[in-house]
């Protein structure tokens, strides 16, 4: 084998790119003087495309595969360059590798609220955010329109522009959809598909495509959400009068709170009637309904006193519980004396019956002991 052929084989170029990053979209193959030997091997892996630029002009685009850079594999390049010296001289071209895989889990969101007209609430301000994925579908167009001569183009350099396109189309889409705010959560999938369809055309001009676009959340301003929560709470309560009655009945189970709860419930219900009647009366004074309600409030009897039950201690044993009326009969029959010890829930220890104000009156109606007893 002649020495020339041996040396020629040793210096054959191998052009390839292995991406060890997660955000590089375009990488330029660096060669001193951009000289590539005729017959060099070009390896384009899956998820890549190789774009040749010769003397500032886009020449060829190679899809995944192994290529020998010869005349029959480079028809456009051959028409651009005059091959001399038996097609063995190096030619000066730039090779750009374009990543055609999906770039996933990219974030988008509205920087400022979007004003929309809701059929139920009227004008509202909405915020939205989500994720999307993007991929290069036309390497040549992407290189010409976006990358230019950048030797290492990353996703961060174009993500801001894509976010602006998404937000702009989202504003138009949400305004034309006419979906009520309360129904948007159930239609985020349809809105995402409609939004992706609207974005497809402007991104195609850059040689890009959005395979996926998700709307994770559409929210109202915090003040509006607080009012909406109150409205939801009222819907859960339902009839306000029935709710107040339920609250009063629930308070009956608490010690000493039943009468106060009933009184508060009656007072609140009467106050609502007075307020409703006052609204009907107008600005010129109280109507007959208001006067009648006020008179009813004055005639309303006070709540009945709380009835206690009592236990009696005798000879180390307890009996009861007894009502006050039962204790009165026992006092009349002599089964209960002034010195009998009694106790009721809430009382601090056992006390003599005559020392309890409520029971002392039971013994005032009895005659005193006979003289000389």
Q: At 305, phi and psi to the nearest 5?
A: -65, 155
Q: How far apart are CA 209 and CA 200, in angstroms?
A: 6
User: What average pLDDT does the segment 211-216 reach?
Assistant: 90
2 pLDDT exceeds 60? no
pLDDT value of position 308: 77
Tell me the mean pLDDT in the region 16-24: 88
Task: In whole angstroms, give the CA distance from residue 40 to residue 29.
Answer: 13
- Higher pLDDT pick, 36 / 271: 36
User: Mean pLDDT, to the nearest integer, of 80-91?
Assistant: 50
pLDDT greater than 70 at residue 363 = yes
Torsion sign across C-alpha atoms 98, 103, 107, 109 = positive
Query: What's the pLDDT at 292?
Result: 57
Question: Which residue(s) pair with 154 in the sheet?
Answer: 24
3-state secondary structure the chain: CCHHHHHHHHCCCEECCCCCCCCEEEEEECCHHHEECCCCEEEECCCEEEEEEECCEEEEEECCEEEECCHHHCHHHHHHCCCCHHHCCCEECEEEEEECCCEEEEEEECCCCEEEEECCCEEEEEEEEEEEEEEECCHHHHHHHHHCCCCEEECHHHHHHHHHHHHHHHHHHHHHHCCCHHHCHHHHHHHHHHHHHHHHHHHHCCCEEEEEEEEEEEECCHHHHHHHHHHHHHHHHCCHHHHHHHHHHHHCCCCCCHHHHHHHHHHHHHHHHHHHHHHHHCCCCCCHHHHHHHHHHHHCCCCCCCCCCEEEEECCEEEEEECHHHHHHHHHHCCCCCCCEEECCCCCCCEEHHHCHHHHHHHCCCCCCCCCC
pLDDT at 45: 94
Q: What is the pLDDT of residue 86?
A: 41
Radius of gyration for the alpha carbons in the chain, expressed in angstroms and rounded: 46
Output the pLDDT for position 153: 92
Is the pLDDT score of 259 beyond 70?
no
What's the pLDDT at 331?
Answer: 81
Top mean pLDDT of 86-90, 138-142, 192-196, 214-218 is at 138-142
Closest CA to 169 of 125, 219, 213: 213
Q: What local confidence, expressed as pLDDT, does residue 87 receive?
A: 44
**Residue 84 confidence (pLDDT):** 45
Segment among 4-18, 56-70, 186-200 with least mean pLDDT: 4-18
**pLDDT, tens digit, for every residue of 172-182?**
888 887 788 88
């Amino acid at each position: 084998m002649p020495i020339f052929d041996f040396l020629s084989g040793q210096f054959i170029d191998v052009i390839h790119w292995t991406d060890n990053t997660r955000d590089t979209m375009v990488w330029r193959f660096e060669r001193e003087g951009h000289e590539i030997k005729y017959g060099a091997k070009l390896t384009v892996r899956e998820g890549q495309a190789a774009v040749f630029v010769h003397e500032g002009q886009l020449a060829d685009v190679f899809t995944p595969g192994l290529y020998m850079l010869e005349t029959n594999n480079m028809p456009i390049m051959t028409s651009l360059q005059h091959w001399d010296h038996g097609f063995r001289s190096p030619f000066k071209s730039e090779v750009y590798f374009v990543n055609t895989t999906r770039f996933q889990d990219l974030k988008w969101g509205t920087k400022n609220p979007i004003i929309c007209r809701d059929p139920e609430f009227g004008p509202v301000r909405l915020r939205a955010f989500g994720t999307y994925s993007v991929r290069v579908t036309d390497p040549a167009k992407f290189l010409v329109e976006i990358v230019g001569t950048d030797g290492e183009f990353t996703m961060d350099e174009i993500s801001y522009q894509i976010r602006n396109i998404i937000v702009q189309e989202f504003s138009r889409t949400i305004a034309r959809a006419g979906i009520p705010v309360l129904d948007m959560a159930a239609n985020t999938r349809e809105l995402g598909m409609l939004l992706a369809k609207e974005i497809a055309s402007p991104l195609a001009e850059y040689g890009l495509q959005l395979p996926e676009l998700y709307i994770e959340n559409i929210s109202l301003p915090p003040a509006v959400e607080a009012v909406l929560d109150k409205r939801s709470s009222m819907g859960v309560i339902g009839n306000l009068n029935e709710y107040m009655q339920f609250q009063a009945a629930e308070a009956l189970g608490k010690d000493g709170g039943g009468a106060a709860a009933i009184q508060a419930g009656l007072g609140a219900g009467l106050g609502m009637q007075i307020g409703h009647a006052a609204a009907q009366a107008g600005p010129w004074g109280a109507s007959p309904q208001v006067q009648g309600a006020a008179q009813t409030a004055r005639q309303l009897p006070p709540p009945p006193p709380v009835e206690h039950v009592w236990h009696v201690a005798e000879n180390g044993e307890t009996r009861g519980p007894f009502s006050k009326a039962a204790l009165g009969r026992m006092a009349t029959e002599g089964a209960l004396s002034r010195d009998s010890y009694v106790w009721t829930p809430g009382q601090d220890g056992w006390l003599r019956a005559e020392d309890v104000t409520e029971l002392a009156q039971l013994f005032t109606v009895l005659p005193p002991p006979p003289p000389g007893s």
